[in-house]
């Protein structure tokens, strides 16, 4: 899948599926992901330490195996959106957005990069471009780009209509840990939390914006789908690998215990942080 196909699926009301990349650095791992049945990945640079070169290498490798690379930038700094685009990212996820002006500036870069300074401000404020040719060139250059804005707190939820009115936003992102913490019930996904998520899905859908909710279990991710979240972001590569290792080796230890009287179930624990 490429970015154009991913946007077409979302715009037609269908679902797309991906996971977060929080641990891998070697681009060769892209070949492993290619067999996983995913459409896209979010390369995390908010909570994971990755430099520009590493991001660019991952983006190139993912595109080569037909996986759409989206970069979650570290914060609401327009410069970081430009960095992600320079690395070749097919989309950007701007996290924890609350201020409308911050959103407007980040979206403007995603729409009009590499315009900078006065020329970018004029485009952002609707005061015209350098020329009609420049405007058309940049529209074509970014027409397949995916712009995702993080609605991850109660203040962001209160400002949702103003944020969405900025325009140029393709999707909304909900970080369950941040949102539930902001609502006063950290990592407790109660009816209040799901009510907020469902309302964001409804209001985003009315403006043609798909919603991405990053849950870590099949059960909670399924509930997100059931309330209408079509930009399905499930778990991370580290957590998925750890769970599969635990499952397979628990089964093998059980077989060894039956055959040799030893082995048994290993003591395992979840050591992958939620981001």
Reading the chain (275 residues) residue by residue, the pLDDT tens digits are: 999 999 999 999 999 999 999 999 999 999 999 999 999 999 999 999 999 999 999 999 999 999 999 999 999 999 999 999 999 999 999 999 999 999 999 999 999 999 999 999 999 888 888 899 999 999 999 999 999 999 999 999 999 999 999 999 999 999 999 999 999 999 999 999 999 999 999 999 999 999 999 999 999 999 999 999 999 999 999 999 999 999 999 888 888 888 888 665 666 667 766 66
Strands (E), the chain: 16-21, 40-44, 68-72, 91-94, 146-150, 171-174, 210-215, 231-236
Q: What's the DSSP call for residue 272?
A: S
pLDDT at 208: 96
pLDDT for position 67: 98
How large is the greatest C-alpha to C-alpha distance in the chain, in angstroms? 78
- Model confidence, pTM: 0.93
**In contact, 131 and 142? CB cutoff 8 Å:** no
Predicted local confidence at residue 185, as pLDDT: 94
CA dihedral 206, 124, 98, 227 (to 10 degrees): 20
C-alpha atoms less than 13 angstroms from C-alpha of 203 in its C-beta half-sphere: 17
Q: What is the model's pLDDT at position 273?
A: 67
- What gap in Å lies between CA 98 and CA 182, rounded to an integer? 12
Collect all residues with Cβ–Cβ distance below 8 Å to 50 and sequence separation of at least 6.
25, 43, 44, 58
Q: What pLDDT was estimated at residue 126?
A: 85
Paired tokens of 6: 């991913």
Handedness of CA 189, 195, 196, 197 (dihedral sign): positive
Architecture of domain 3-260: Alpha-Beta Barrel (3.20)
- Are the C-beta atoms of residues 90 and 63 closer than 8 Å to each other? yes
Q: Are 55 and 43 in contact (CB under 8 A)?
A: yes
CA dist 27 and 106 (Å) reads 27
- 3 state DSSP class of 105: helix
Tell me the C-alpha distance between 245 and 239, whole Å: 10
Question: Quick count: other Cβ atoms within 10 Å of Cβ 40?
Answer: 24
User: 31-34 contacts: CB < 8 A, separation 24 or more?
Assistant: 31/65, 33/62, 33/65, 33/67, 33/237, 34/65, 34/66, 34/67
Nearest to 197 by CA among 223, 234, 168, 171: 223
């Amino acid at each position: 899948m490429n970015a154009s196909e991913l946007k077409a699926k979302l715009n037609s009301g269908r679902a797309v599926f991906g996971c977060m990349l929080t641990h891998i650095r070697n681009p060769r791992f892209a070949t492993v992901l290619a067999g996983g049945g995913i459409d896209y990945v979010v390369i995390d640079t908010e909570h994971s330490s990755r430099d520009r070169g590493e991001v660019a290498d991952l983006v190139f490798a993912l595109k080569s195996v037909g996986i759409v690379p989206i970069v979650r930038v570290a914060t609401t700094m327009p410069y970081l959106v430009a960095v992600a685009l320079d690395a070749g990212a097919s989309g950007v996820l701007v996290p924890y957005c609350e201020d409308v002006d911050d959103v407007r500036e980040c979206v403007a870069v995603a729409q009009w990069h590499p315009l900078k300074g006065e020329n970018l401000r004029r485009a952002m404020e609707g005061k015209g471009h350098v020329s009609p040719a420049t405007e058309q060139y940049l529209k074509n250059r970014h027409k397949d780009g995916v712009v995702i804005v993080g609605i991850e707190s109660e203040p962001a939820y209160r400002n949702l209509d103003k944020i969405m009115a900025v325009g140029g936003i393709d999707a909304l992102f909900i970080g369950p840990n941040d949102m539930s913490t902001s609502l006063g019930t950290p990592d407790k996904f109660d009816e209040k939390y799901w009510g907020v998520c469902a309302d964001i899905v409804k209001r985003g859908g009315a403006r043609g914006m798909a919603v991405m909710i990053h849950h870590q279990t099949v059960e909670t991710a399924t509930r997100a789908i059931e309330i209408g979240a079509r930009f399905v972001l499930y778990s991370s590569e580290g957590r998925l690998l750890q769970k599969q290792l635990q499952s397979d080796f628990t089964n093998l230890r059980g077989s060894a215990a039956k055959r040799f009287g030893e082995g048994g179930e290993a003591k395992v624990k979840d050591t992958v942080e939620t981001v």
